[in-house]
Structure 1
Amino acid sequence: MDTTGMTRDPALVFEGWADHASRDRVSTDTTVHQLLKVAYPNHHITRTQTAHCDLLGFADAGHAIKTPDRSRGYDAIRKYVAPKLRHEKGNDKLEDEIRFGAWNYKWQNNHFIVFALSFRDYLLSRVLRFLYVVTPPPVDGAVDVEGHHSKTDELLLAAGKWTKEMHDEIWVFDNQQWNKDKELYRSVIGASWDDVILDPTIKSSLAQDVGSFFDNQSLYKTLRVPWKRGVILHGVPGNGKTVSIKAIINSLAARNPPVPAMYVKSLDGCSHPKIAMQAIFSKARIVAPCLLIFEDLDSLVEDKTRSYFLNEVDGLDSNEGILMIASTNHLDEIDPAITKRPSRFDRKYHFKVPEHALRVAYCRYWHAKVLDSPAIDFPVELCSVIADLTDGFSFAYIKELFISTLLALAGGTHNIETATGSSLKAADSTLDRKEEEKSSDKSKRLMPAVTIPSELEKNAFLQAILVEAKLLWDQMENEETDAVKRKKAAAVCAPAMPRFDFGYGDD
């Protein structure tokens, strides 16, 4: 097909768009559609959206051939893209954020011109991306009674199917729209249930809950109940909720066929919560069966968004095949209408501060990590001692204890004599510590007294652990003291609520 002869002036559409974009504008996508009809009066034109049918990505993946045609107009913002990690030198680049562009496009020996248009819709407060497929003059029978071109529709079906599939990506909702995120996928892939130190009963139940949902669509149908489910992971921060979600994402990605994950990152910038919730669930219904993740549910579903969230969960639209998993550090701050009604969130899993056995298991997990390092003398017998030392620590705090200790040893910042003379003596003197606890302020948290076997007293790794543990205990004490002060200050500053007498006497 001679694409250059399709119109007398290849830049006609671009000039019309540029004039439109320079004014107060309405219906930009429709305006460009009309401009294309004028420029290509004998050709068939189909409008679609990148979110539904990513023709350019389809070609980039090798399923079609696209060649830029700047003669038809081009407008873009040239951007500097820094490396994902600052130390990755040489991985920065420049790329164009295209606002208007055109490509000669070939798929299965069929030739098209594809125009791409990107603009901000100020009513929706988000960027919209449209694609226009210009197809050669149709032969008899190529266009159906509704005006659709058979060759164009074949292309859109193939590209649309490819667009719906995940290609080492996770759907992320942010800035009012869904986008595929390869970086997030790479950060999650490889996570497994082996990385999750959790009460065995809870761990097994959660994994089975997720797997059985996607295994039993036919059972839901037989029982005549909607094939949808909701699970909440709750508890204090740092005790495995996020790593459990990563393990779930990875286990579902390994299924055949894979189950895609959809992560609601933020509702920031949304023009209206109703539009945001509709966009979230509309896309999930298209992608389903899928995993829909609401991390920190209490910050996403607030007073202004609650009713719209419930409308989407309970409404007339089907949520078949959607497994919602939400996490929260503050279950009590979420409306009970959400958390305590089955069919919204059916199960709740409590992630508690780890008890001694789990702390030992987590220490063994770290022991295995450094087992092959000749510079680290970490006898397995230390796991129980460290577990005693970290009573009250979350997994996140224990992780920080190991990381800070390993970094300190690697950097040579620990003075062994100092460690032995202060932290080790304090930890070894169990009786003295108990007396100190009796005489001290009961509200103050002290580093637990631990009994150290004589053969481990001079272990350099343990000495470094003791120093870092003392720092972390002091940090925890300061954080809790500040939290108490803030709560007291809030109580003092809060206005007194008026008391109304309804004639029922005192409360």
Structure 2
Amino acid sequence: MVVTSTQPQPHAGFDIPKELEDAFIKVSFEEIKNSPKAQNIPGFDPMYSPVVVNASDRRAATEIWAFQELRGLYPNHSIVPSGNLNILGYPYAMFKPISPKQLILNAMFIPLSRRASEKPGYIVEQVTYGTFVVAWDKYEFLLHVIRFPIINYGYVTYSYLLHEGPEEPAHRLILEAGLHDQELHNEIYVFNQGFWRKDPELWHEIQKANWEDIIMKPEYKEEVKKDVYGFFESEQIYKELGIAWKRGMIMWGPPGNGKTITIKAIMKDCDAKGFAPLYVKSFQSYMGEEGSMQMVFDKARQMSPCVLIFEDLDALINDRNRSFFLNQLDGLSNNDGMLCIGTTNHFERLDPGLSERPSRFDRKYLFDNPDWEERKLYSKYWQNKLAANEKISFPDTLVDDIASRTADFSFAYLKEAFVSSLVLLAAGPGKTKDFATTIKETIQSLRRQLEKGRPTLWSRTGTEVTKITVIGSGTIPQAEPDMVERANIAHALGRPFI
């Protein structure tokens, strides 16, 4: 190793005093780097020291510097750089660090839901710098990973895949890993803050939704299901008729009447049938709402056939973004195989271009407060759920009585009547009140709330917005959008992640 003095280049707008110039030294690893044996020393990573020096220096375009360094270290290797390569998350390749002592890992704690696991969370390690030997198919590669800061942005990670020979095997590995990374593995694509991420928790949540738990008139339920699943089964018919294979639906009505659980059941079934469900949470992002819309529809076109969910459509679409949204919905781009479903509690707030224009959202389903027949169906649903409980008497006469007493109740209010009554019975053992008396009193209490117009937990005043940091004229997320997703994959594979 050679240590030599060097004169630092003055920074733009900043002159280094003469008396400080001798304080700067440059550590050169040329002798090690140029040694023909450097690449083959067991347990030695020849790229480690240059990276450490580079991280301590004023620099720009680190990804280009790293490429040049690697080309000097491995003259017989092809080098394929990538800014979004998730090779370490590919389960069909094997990995081993060249030098564990020269591996820089950032330990992170990932919390878990207390209801989902006995453990509070787990530790995963993110690669800040590391070099790995990769075995895949019949090939062997070197994978260099470098994570470095970008001013006013955060951190980016660059990966370099090296192969002693042509680039074609590396391209094949990247293609296979990329295809695997894009597939959904018990996950749902969710768009928020300008990024798509795969959400396993939402996937598990929608598995709880069943059409049997959705109370509506049988013919109405079948019509909804036919519109959704019939669309995906009718591609050939659309083509024979010479019309675009796309459709839009709006589910509207007062809150608490089954729109969300119906959406969950649709997402669950579409996922099981191979039609990817894509859920849009917000268009607000650092790139602006139009940029977000472009990303949403580009992803939907890529994943087609798919179902694209816009919950609370009236909150997502406004005067600023409406024109661009409508252009994405039925403009020149090919939206074949795309079923768009929007929900709203306030149909009257929707622009006529959305709610009335044919070929956009041409199917509309009202989820209104239940009528007497539907309230009776809901009471029968609970009667069946409680049939095995010998402590609760639930005769048919009570079914009709509940339906009659709950006029103008939403399904959410009906559910609250049953849940609150059962909680009261469970909390007060030994009391003389039976189920019938308890639920009638609960209905009376809910009726008083309804008549006073008090806001309840079922009302919704807007959409949830995650905190973001404002930088310049845009916004930057506080955390990388797919960090938890990649951490979960790494935890499952027992590896660090990029």
Does 2:84 align with 1:47? no
Shift of 1:252: 1.5
Does 2:270 align with 1:235? no
Matched AA of 1:44: S
Counterpart of 2:90 (choices 48, 58, 61) is 58
Distance across 1 between alignment mates of 2:299 and 2:391? 51
Distance across 2 between alignment mates of 1:300 and 1:348? 18
Shift of 1:327: 0.8
Distance across 2 between alignment mates of 1:222 and 1:120? 54
Distance across 1 between alignment mates of 2:320 and 2:430? 51
Q: Report matched runs for 1:79-478 at 5 Å.
A: 79-85=108-114, 88-116=117-145, 131-135=159-163, 137-138=164-165, 142=166, 149-255=167-273, 258-412=274-428, 416=432, 460-478=434-452
Distance across 2 between alignment mates of 1:346 and 1:120? 48
Shift of 1:39: 4.5
Shift of 1:222: 1.9
Distance across 2 between alignment mates of 1:221 and 1:129? 44
Does 2:27 align with 1:9? no
| 320-329 or 72-81: bigger deviation | 72-81
Distance across 2 between alignment mates of 1:461 and 1:305? 52
- C-alpha distance 161-343 of structure 1, shift in aligned 2 (>3 A): same
- C-alpha distance 126-394 of structure 1, shift in aligned 2 (>3 A): farther
Matched AA of 1:173: F
Distance across 2 between alignment mates of 1:266 and 1:242? 16
Q: Indicate the SS of the match to 1:304.
A: coil
Distance across 2 between alignment mates of 1:167 and 1:321? 21
Q: Indicate the SS of the match to 1:373.
A: coil
- C-alpha distance 235-16 of structure 1, shift in aligned 2 (>3 A): farther
Q: Is the 8 A contact 1:191 1:246 kept in 2?
A: yes
Provide Cα deviations, 1:35-56, integer angstroms capped at 9, x if missing partner.
Answer: 5445544322223454xx6433
Distance across 2 between alignment mates of 1:271 and 1:83? 31
Identify unmatched segments of 5+ residues in structure 1. 143-148, 418-459, 483-507
Q: Is the 8 A contact 2:114 2:120 kept in 1?
A: no
Partner of 2:465: none
- C-alpha distance 325-17 of structure 1, shift in aligned 2 (>3 A): farther
Shift of 1:403: 1.2
Distance across 1 between alignment mates of 2:201 and 2:419? 24
Distance across 2 between alignment mates of 1:128 and 1:16? 18
Provide Cα deviations, 1:455-498, integer angstroms capped at 9, x if missing partner.
Answer: xxxxx11111122222222322343589xxxxxxxxxxxxxxxx
RMSD between aligned alpha carbons? 3.1
TM-score if structure 1 supplies the norm length?
0.74
Q: Is the 8 A contact 1:116 1:130 kept in 2?
A: yes
Identify unmatched segments of 5+ residues in structure 2. 1-36, 457-498
Larger helix proportion of the pair = 1
Compare relative contact order (CA 8 Å, sep 6+) and give the higher one, 1 or 2. 2
Matched AA of 2:354: I
Q: Is the 8 A contact 1:3 1:113 kept in 2?
A: no
Distance across 2 between alignment mates of 1:17 and 1:185? 43
Distance across 2 between alignment mates of 1:106 and 1:76? 21
Provide Cα deviations, 1:38-85, integer angstroms capped at 9, x if missing partner.
Answer: 5544322223454xx6433322xxx22223456596555433322213
Q: Is the 8 A contact 2:45 2:99 kept in 1?
A: no
Shift of 1:187: 0.7
- C-alpha distance 346-67 of structure 1, shift in aligned 2 (>3 A): farther
- C-alpha distance 212-87 of structure 1, shift in aligned 2 (>3 A): closer
Shift of 1:324: 0.9
Distance across 2 between alignment mates of 1:381 and 1:249? 37
Q: Report matched runs for 1:483-502 at 5 Å.
A: none
Partner of 1:449: none
Distance across 2 between alignment mates of 1:364 and 1:17? 71
Matched AA of 1:473: R
Provide Cα deviations, 1:341-364, integer angstroms capped at 9, x if missing partner.
Answer: 122212111111110111111111
- C-alpha distance 79-357 of structure 1, shift in aligned 2 (>3 A): same
- C-alpha distance 368-99 of structure 1, shift in aligned 2 (>3 A): farther
Distance across 2 between alignment mates of 1:277 and 1:126? 24
Distance across 1 between alignment mates of 2:65 and 2:347? 49
Shift of 1:380: 3.8
Q: Indicate the SS of the match to 1:388.
A: helix
Q: Is the 8 A contact 2:376 2:399 kept in 1?
A: yes
Distance across 2 between alignment mates of 1:171 and 1:478? 41
- C-alpha distance 247-71 of structure 1, shift in aligned 2 (>3 A): same
- C-alpha distance 225-3 of structure 1, shift in aligned 2 (>3 A): farther
Distance across 2 between alignment mates of 1:8 and 1:76? 15
Distance across 2 between alignment mates of 1:80 and 1:398? 41
Matched AA of 2:453: E
Distance across 1 between alignment mates of 2:155 and 2:319? 27
Question: What is the identity percentage for the equivalent residue pairs of Structure 1 and Structure 2?
Answer: 34
Distance across 1 between alignment mates of 2:38 and 2:366? 62
Q: Is the 8 A contact 1:260 1:291 kept in 2?
A: yes
